[in-house]
Amino acid sequence: MPDAEVRMRAPAKANLFLRVLARESTGYHGLETLFCLLDLSDELVAERRAGDAVSIEVRGADVGPPEQNLAVRAADMVLQATGRRFGVHLTLDKRIPMQAGLGGGSSDAAAALLLTNQLAGNAVPRHELLQFAAKLGSDVPFFLSEARLALAWGHGERMLRLPPLPQVPALLLVPAEGMPTAEAYALIDQGAESTRRGGLALDLDALRGWGDIARMAGNDFEAALFSRRPALKEAFEALAGTRPLLCRLTGSGSAFLAVYRNATDRADASMMLGRKHGALIEVTAG
């Protein structure tokens, strides 16, 4: 008998590098990115209910209308695929900042796919869940894979799982103003970044150490956002000034990730930064 209630953590991610390729005829952009998990997470509970619909209760943030919520859409996909034999109520404890490029909504969606399928006795095979994930967004397949480190390209559906990096102390700087994903891509399209078409030539052996990764190409959203959001550029420069091993915009922003050699360096950086540029969250990367 399948469980009546299941739960799981939905972790945040960072893009250790992110290249945005040319806009396609479909309106979507191709990507080439290196995903890495962080230990910051939401928590999602899925409960079997009477009926055949999906409902949601969110604690800790206003995530907008339920019908637009990725976790609701994900759960509904599984119900549709399994004949709508029951309903699902989702309870989401939101801890990952929104509109920060940390993948919180996508991670919640991946968790909803897995949990709803568990309530259905794992009736939907893994390859079909991956197809659902790709339809929901380019970050969702990574979270569904449950890898800690992965190279992804295309629309996130093509992925190479990699051995995890050593875990290191890191700092998230989260500006007060978020960056909607659609707006970030619009800024990319307005700039020179939109003319790029080729991917990077990558040495997979160089993806095993933080120092090598730090020397690779950065995040294409940085140039697009910094030229139009001076406060973001100022926040990045302040964080980079704390001498981390790596400092990058997370996804399409607006948060930044800095990775440090040790916890002492991170504590010093936190003291230097204060709260001038946004909230600081201590995390572990890798």
Q: What interhelical angle do 70-81 and 126-136 show, nearest 10?
A: 140
DSSP conformation class of 219: B
Question: Beta strand 87-93 with 54-59: parallel, antiparallel or unpaired?
Answer: parallel
**Alpha helix positions (H), the chain:** 70-81, 104-119, 126-136, 140-145, 181-190, 210-214, 220-226, 230-240, 263-273
Question: Beta strand 279-285 with 158-161: parallel, antiparallel or unpaired?
Answer: unpaired
135 labelled catalytic: no
Rounded Cα gap, residues 149 and 146, in angstroms: 9
Instruction: Write down the catalytic residue from 13, 94, 108, 265.
Output: 13
Instruction: Write down the catalytic residue from 76, 108, 139, 265.
Output: 139
Whether the CB-CB separation of 265 and 276 falls below 8 Å is answered with no
Dihedral of CA atoms 126, 132, 134, 136 in degrees, nearest 10, equals -140
Q: Quick one: which of 148, 114, 138, 112 has its CA closest to 39?
A: 148
Whether the CB-CB separation of 70 and 106 falls below 8 Å is answered with yes
Query: Identity (one letter) of the amino acid at 71?
Result: A
DSSP conformation class of 215: T
Question: Beta strand 87-93 with 158-161: parallel, antiparallel or unpaired?
Answer: unpaired
Q: Which two tokens stand for residue 195?
A: 């003319």
* Residue partners of 228: CB distance under 8 A and separation at least 6: 187
Show which residues are catalytic. 13, 139
